[in-house]
């Protein structure tokens, strides 16, 4: 498949640090609009993901994609570096959507040095505490994004290089999703992401794919386990979460900016996917 241009990796660091725990890293149902990377140096802990439980062990790195609900469990000494990375608003597919990333990879000889250097160079990027409620909120998130934007260009260049090196460890073992060889699906997904702020009609998508609407629906369900409409709403809700998290736009405006003409329908779709209403989500993230 055609590779993503490196310029598309719009990585912005939010947090980096070294955390020491002793049975006190136990947080449930964590979900955020940014990617998490862990590099374990001592001890073990459990990472509970929607479809698997992974043991975090020394000498390995782990990645958790954005919007992935997960939990942590630690019963003894556990030390790890952490890195939070944000890709910003994008209307094209990101690397997490194009590739199946391994949750765990063996760390190389340079990871410890890279993380140590990042912690030394950016001590203010260390989290105030390990409880996600203390940092995973709109106010802190805005501060972290602004801190990155205020960096001089030379610092951003060096930071970008370090982030790309860490991500490259995972990229060595990624597997393109099966649909990436089907130009019809690629064109449909490209259209959805480019027009995420519009009312996207499945009939229009069948024209983009040059196949009939019933066949598109069958093909889509085979590849994603979702109908085109369900996929569209999933991506709209993810964008809505980001907007509710990072802007002060009223919920109605968020709905309209994403192509929902019916505010009540938007609330139902949002609650079905997240378990809370848009306003409840915003209130929770701003505590």
Q: What is the mean pLDDT of residues 187-207?
A: 92
Is residue 54 included in any domain, yes or no? yes
- Return the pLDDT at 248: 83
- Return the pLDDT at 242: 84
CB atoms within 10 A of CB 175: 10
Residues 41, 204: Cα–Cα separation, whole Å: 51
Residues 169, 165: Cα–Cα separation, whole Å: 7
Structure tokens at 195: 């027009």
Is residue 1 included in any domain, yes or no? no
Is residue 184 over pLDDT 80?
yes
Instruction: Summarize pLDDT for 1-57 with one digit per residue, the tens.
Output: 445 555 556 788 999 999 999 999 999 989 888 899 999 999 999 999 998 999 999
Instruction: Summarize pLDDT for 147-181 with one digit per residue, the tens.
Output: 988 999 999 999 999 999 999 999 999 888 777 77
> Do 73 and 129 fall into the same domain?
yes
Q: What is the DSSP letter of 3?
A: P
Instruction: Summarize pLDDT for 60-87 with one digit per residue, the tens.
Output: 999 999 889 999 999 999 999 999 998 7
Structure tokens at 12: 């912005």
> Do 209 and 162 fall into the same domain?
no
Q: What is the DSSP letter of 87?
A: -
> Do 103 and 154 fall into the same domain?
yes
Q: Which domain holds residue 101?
A: 6-176
266, 239 Cβ separation under 8 angstroms: no
- Return the pLDDT at 1: 44
As separate numbers, helices (DSSP H) first and strands (DSSP E) second, the chain gives: 11, 10
Is residue 278 over pLDDT 90?
yes
Paired strand residues for 19: 80
Q: Residue 98: enclosing H or E segment and its boundaries?
A: helix 95-98
Residues 65, 52: Cα–Cα separation, whole Å: 14
- Return the pLDDT at 89: 59
> Do 172 and 184 fall into the same domain?
no
CATH for 186: 1.10.10.60
Is residue 213 over pLDDT 90?
yes
Instruction: Summarize pLDDT for 240-259 with one digit per residue, the tens.
Output: 988 888 788 899 999 999 99
Total domains in the chain come to 2
Instruction: Summarize pLDDT for 96-130 with one digit per residue, the tens.
Output: 777 889 999 999 889 999 999 999 999 999 998 88
- Return the pLDDT at 78: 97
Is residue 123 included in any domain, yes or no? yes
With CA atoms as reference, report the closest residue to 30 among 52, 49, 12, 13: 49
Residue keyed to tokens 């229009």: 204
Residue keyed to tokens 């992974």: 54
- Return the pLDDT at 42: 97
Alpha helices in the chain (DSSP H): 95-98, 111-121, 138-149, 153-171, 183-194, 202-209, 213-224, 228-246, 251-257, 263-274, 278-285
Average pLDDT, the chain: 89
Is residue 92 over pLDDT 70?
no
CATH for 113: 2.60.120.10
Is residue 206 over pLDDT 50?
yes
Residues 36, 33: Cα–Cα separation, whole Å: 10
Distances (CA, A) of 63 to 35, 92, 101, 131: 7, 21, 8, 18
Q: Considering the chain, what percentage of its residues have pLDDT values greater than 90?
A: 61
Mode of pairing for the β-strands spanning 35-43 and 60-64: antiparallel
Q: Which residue has the higher pLDDT, 224 or 26?
A: 26
Indicate the pTM of the whole model: 0.79
CB atoms within 10 A of CB 49: 15
> Do 104 and 207 fall into the same domain?
no
Residue 202 neighbours by CB under 8 Å, 6+ apart: 213, 216, 217, 228, 229
Is residue 111 included in any domain, yes or no? yes
């Amino acid at each position: 498949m055609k590779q993503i241009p490196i310029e598309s990796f719009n990585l912005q660091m939010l947090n980096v640090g070294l955390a020491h725990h002793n049975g006190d890293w136990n947080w449930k149902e964590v979900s955020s609009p940014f990617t998490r990377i862990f590099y374990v140096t001592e001890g073990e802990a459990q990472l509970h993901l929607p479809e698997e439980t992974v043991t975090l062990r020394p000498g390995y790195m782990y990645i958790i994609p954005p919007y992935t609900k997960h939990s942590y469990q630690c019963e003894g000494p556990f030390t790890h570096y952490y890195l939070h990375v944000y890709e910003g608003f994008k209307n094209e597919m990101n690397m997490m959507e194009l590739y199946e990333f391994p949750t765990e990879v063996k760390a190389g000889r340079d990871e410890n040095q890279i993380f140590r250097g990042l912690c030394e160079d950016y001590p203010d990027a260390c989290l105030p505490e390990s409880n996600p409620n203390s940092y995973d909120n709109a106010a802190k998130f805005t501060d972290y994004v602004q801190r990155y934007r205020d960096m001089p260009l030379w610092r951003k260049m060096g930071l970008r290089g370090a982030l790309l090196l860490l991500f490259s460890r995972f990229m060595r073992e990624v597997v393109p999703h099966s649909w990436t060889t089907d130009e019809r699906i690629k064109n449909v997904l490209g259209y959805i992401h480019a027009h995420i702020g519009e009312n996207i009609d499945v009939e229009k998508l069948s024209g983009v794919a040059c196949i009939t609407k019933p066949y598109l629906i069958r093909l889509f369900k085979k590849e994603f386990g979702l109908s085109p409409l369900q996929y569209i709403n999933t991506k709209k809700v993810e964008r809505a979460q980001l907007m509710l998290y990072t802007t002060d736009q009223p919920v109605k405006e968020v709905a309209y900016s994403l192509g929902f003409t019916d505010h009540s329908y938007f609330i139902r779709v949002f609650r079905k996917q997240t378990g809370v209403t848009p306003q409840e989500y915003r209130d929770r993230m701003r505590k």
